[in-house]
Amino acid sequence: MPPCDFVPEKYESYPYERMQKIREQHIVPSLRTYYKKPLLLHQGHMQWLFDHEGRRYLDLFAGIVTVSVGHCHPKVTMATQKQLARLWHTTNIYMYPAIHEYAEKLTSLFPDPLKVVYLTNSGSEANDLAMFMARLHTRNFDIICLRGGYHGGSPYTLGLTSLTSYKHGVANGFGCTTTMLPDVFRGPWGGSHCRDSPVQTVRKCSCTEGACLAKDQYIEQFKDTLNTSVPKTVAGFIAEPMQGVNGAVQYPRNFLKEAYQLIRERGGLCISDEVQTGFGRTGSHFWGFQTHGVVPDIVTLAKGIGNGFPMAAVVTTKGISIAIEEDGLQKNSEDVGTYMLLELAKLRDKFEIVGDVRGKGLMIGVEMVTDKDSRRPLPVEEINQIWEDCKDMGVLIGRGGLYSQTFRIKPPMCITKRDVDFAVEVFHTALQRHMRPPVVKGRNTNKTASEITEEENEGTAPRQMKIRTEHLYALPKA
């Protein structure tokens, strides 16, 4: 594990077992936890998290793509403390300097005419407002969204969210129509030249130079939705530049550009949900929509905008934290993200169960399959084994996709190439362990990767990477 000079404070709250009991008795069960034995996290520092026992983990999920500049970033911490000492709360009926200064800096990062901002508290609230604005402005009602998209959990935005696990069997989100997701890996069309990523799919592509047949086919499906499922005029179309909860799904080049044109021809507005893709995470551009060569009518922001604080925004005609510019995190996202994608692609080429590696910058998806030909999702119990082993070796990864078959890697944007080497080594070891027979030398080896002994590493274990147990957790010195 890469070194870390930070020493966490000693954990002094309730014992783990009492925390578990409180969770069971007083926290609603719908708020599920990760892993067989849920982590009790105690402190964070940049790309690292520490549990109640002082164990250190490399965080590759960043609080579900929220902690952009790092846990407890010193500049953010200092600014927060300064503000709390000055004024906690007022109201927008008064002017306050910090809000006006921030609005000016935020909107300066958008192209014309996106120069007006409305601040909110969450991504769901931002998308709620975007829907309302589109309907109010156009005097139309119907909004189109992509299958597999996630846009929030409020009663209004649930109509836009198109993932079964977020549907609850109650009326919500009227006037929202889903259309086919242009997924070049799992969808009916797509190949090896379709998406804007350092890593392409292993599917063969029959496209000629300068033409994308997959994009054309998905646009035809989009037209079919417009011609059959909605009125002749619509309020708008909302899409993430790259789908987040669904596992970093990317569209064919120019798909969004043509979809935007079709929506505008029907009087609708185009909404870009930048809750996960914004603030430089894709590396090449500050906003995800810029990677598609489009300018939306409305942009929604959350998560990374506050680095963990409840903050969001809707920009309609005029964004960013100073810390990101100063630390060079957009460039780091591009350099380190590309490096990680290429390293993960080597694992895809080595392991049959790694079906697809995709993404841009530090927004990465690794889709697991039973085999590359069928592209059937790897069973959940097998996904869980790999996932748990990565956690036991000190790497925290997210999950997503329609079948929970995709590992979501979206770390704090301060992550380094050395961290990537460690994470890829851990993932490689977990994959090898998954493929290895359960018995070695007549002994049962059905144990977590963190229990792999040095004897196994030196002797019978058929893997190139050598991971010693004492290296997995760098416990701070007392």
Domains with residue ranges and CATH for the chain = 27-72+329-470 (3.90.1150.10), 96-327 (3.40.640.10)
Query: So what's the pLDDT on residue 92?
Result: 85
List alpha helices for 235-305, DSSP H: 255-265
Query: So what's the pLDDT on residue 455?
Result: 37
* Nearby residues of 53 by Cβ (< 8 Å), 6 or more positions away: 11
Query: So what's the pLDDT on residue 437?
Result: 61
Query: So what's the pLDDT on residue 317?
Result: 57
Query: So what's the pLDDT on residue 340?
Result: 97
Q: Within 13 A of 412's CA, how many CA atoms are on the CB side?
A: 27
Residue 246 and residue 400: Cα distance in Å, rounded? 5
- By C-alpha distance, which of 233, 230, 236, 222 is closest to 130? 236
Query: So what's the pLDDT on residue 325?
Result: 57
The single-letter DSSP state of residue 445 is -
Please, are residues 278 and 301 in contact by the beta-carbon 8 Å criterion?
yes
Q: List per-residue pLDDT tens for the chain, 478 residues long.
A: 999 999 999 999 999 999 999 999 999 988 889 999 999 999 999 999 999 999 999 999 999 999 999 999 999 999 999 999 999 988 889 999 999 999 999 999 999 989 999 999 999 999 999 999 999 999 999 999 999 999 999 988 999 999 988 888 888 888 999 999 999 999 999 988 899 999 999 988 877 777 889 999 999 999 999 999 999 999 999 999 999 999 999 999 999 999 999 999 999 999 999 999 999 999 999 999 999 999 999 999 999 999 999 999 999 854 323 336 567 899 999 999 999 999 999 999 999 999 999 999 999 999 999 999 999 999 999 999 999 999 999 999 999 999 999 999 999 999 999 999 999 999 999 999 998 765 444 444 444 444 443 333 333 333 333 333 333 333 333 3
Query: So what's the pLDDT on residue 233?
Result: 97
Other beta carbons within 10 angstroms of residue 33's beta carbon come to 12
